[in-house]
């Protein structure tokens, strides 16, 4: 009988600093694999792009935004079957590792609530001035998009230098995601992880969002 290799959370952190990230082949896979794409998707933070319709919605503040209040529920939401497929790359090993990273202070969740119900969110890992976005989910229209906007706002406010989206997708094009060759990404990554940045979670969400929408240039 073969013995399964146990991966420590510290191994995941080391992988991120090298430009590598983990995924499972499916929700039922026993092991995880590590990836380093030749082309990486990156969302620019210098001049964030937010669609005008979404900017108007953000100003209305239709939902309550929280950070790190229920990380396990967010990762479970991201692992839930989508309308177009029942597959997910979040298996029990991924879930265990990222909850451990959350407890160590590296993994964070952005949570969107409506009448105290969790309706959307995202999670990822912060190292220095780099944030590695992992997955998002939405149970109400625009909930995950609003979570992403609040993430972008706080990263910009906290002087982060990199928002890694892993891949370029149709969904992220509206937020200005750009493809970077592996060599270019590695240079940007090295600069980012050595940068003095912070999420500054003691600053109110309204202050951070105002800074994004009003004090800084936002393209649409």
What local confidence, expressed as pLDDT, does residue 28 receive? 85
What local confidence, expressed as pLDDT, does residue 5 receive? 58
Task: pLDDT tens for the chain, 220 residues: list them.
Answer: 334 557 899 999 999 999 999 999 888 888 899 999 999 999 999 888 999 999 999 999 999 999 999 999 999 999 987 655 556 789 999 999 999 999 999 999 999 999 999 999 999 999 999 999 999 999 999 999 999 999 999 999 999 999 999 999 988 999 999 999 999 999 999 999 999 899 999 999 999 999 888 866 677 7
Rounded CA-CA distance 68/71 in Å is 6
Show Cβ contacts of residue 204 under 8 Å, excluding neighbours closer than 6 positions: none
The answer to whether the pTM exceeds 0.85 is yes
CA 15 to chain centre: 16
DSSP per-residue string spanning 43-111: --SSS-B--HHHHHHHHH--SEEEESS-HHHHHHHHHSPPSS-S--S--HHHHHHHHHHHHTT-EEEEE
How many residues are given for the chain?
220
* Phi/psi at 35 (5° precision): -130, 145
What local confidence, expressed as pLDDT, does residue 85 receive? 56
What local confidence, expressed as pLDDT, does residue 2 receive? 37
């Amino acid at each position: 009988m073969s013995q399964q290799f146990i991966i420590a959370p510290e191994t995941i952190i080391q992988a991120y600093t090298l430009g590598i990230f983990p995924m499972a082949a499916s929700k039922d896979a026993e092991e995880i694999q590590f990836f380093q794409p030749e082309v990486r998707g990156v969302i620019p933070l210098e001049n964030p792009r937010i669609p005008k319709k979404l900017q108007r919605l953000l100003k209305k503040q239709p939902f309550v935004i929280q950070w790190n209040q229920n990380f396990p529920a967010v990762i479970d939401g991201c692992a839930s079957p989508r309308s177009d497929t029942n597959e997910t790359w979040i298996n029990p090993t991924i879930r265990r590792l990222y909850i451990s990273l959350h407890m160590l202070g590296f993994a964070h969740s952005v949570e969107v609530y409506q009448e105290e119900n969790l309706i959307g969110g995202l999670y990822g890992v912060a190292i220095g001035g780099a944030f590695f976005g992992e997955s998002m989910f939405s149970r109400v229209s625009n909930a995950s998009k609003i979570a992403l906007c609040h993430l972008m706002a706080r990263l910009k406010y906290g002087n982060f230098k990199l928002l890694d989206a892993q891949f370029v997708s149709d969904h992220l094009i509206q937020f200005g995601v750009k493809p970077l060759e592996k060599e270019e990404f590695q240079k940007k990554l090295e600069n980012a992880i050595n940068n003095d940045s912070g999420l500054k979670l003691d600053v109110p969400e309204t202050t951070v969002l105002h800074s994004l929408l009003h004090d800084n240039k936002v393209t649409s």
